[in-house]
């Protein structure tokens, strides 16, 4: 275990290259877009399901009222 830690600590420190920064930025943006897409999909699917249930309840309520009027 200590050999692994010593390998990482023994690595020379250097500045990141422009290409490495670009890769990190692109990966970060990709992750942000993916989570935003996941959030939109989840929100819209929940809204559709809830709206469908509400519409069914409204229709059944209207049917009960119409029957009671007859």
Position 32 pLDDT exceeds 90: yes
Q: Is residue 64 part of a domain?
A: yes
The verdict on pTM exceeding 0.75 is: no
Q: Is residue 3 part of a domain?
A: no
Q: Is residue 39 part of a domain?
A: yes
Task: State which residues form the domain around 46.
Answer: 17-69
What is the CB-side half-sphere exposure of residue 34 using CA atoms within 13 A? 6
Residue 21: per-residue pLDDT: 95
Q: Is residue 23 part of a domain?
A: yes
Q: Is residue 7 part of a domain?
A: no
The tally of domains found in the chain comes to 1
First-to-last CA distance in the chain?
A: 82
Q: Which residue has the higher pLDDT, 57 or 37?
A: 37
Residue 61 burial (10 A CB sphere; 0-12, 13-18, 19+): exposed
């Amino acid at each position: 275990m200590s050999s692994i830690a010593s390998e990482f600590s023994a690595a020379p420190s250097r500045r990141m290259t422009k290409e490495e920064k670009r890769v990190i930025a692109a990966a970060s943006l990709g992750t942000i877009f993916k989570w935003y897409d996941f959030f939109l999909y989840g929100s819209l699917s929940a809204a559709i399901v809830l709206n469908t249930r509400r519409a069914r309840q409204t229709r059944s309520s209207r049917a009960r009222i119409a029957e009671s009027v007859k």
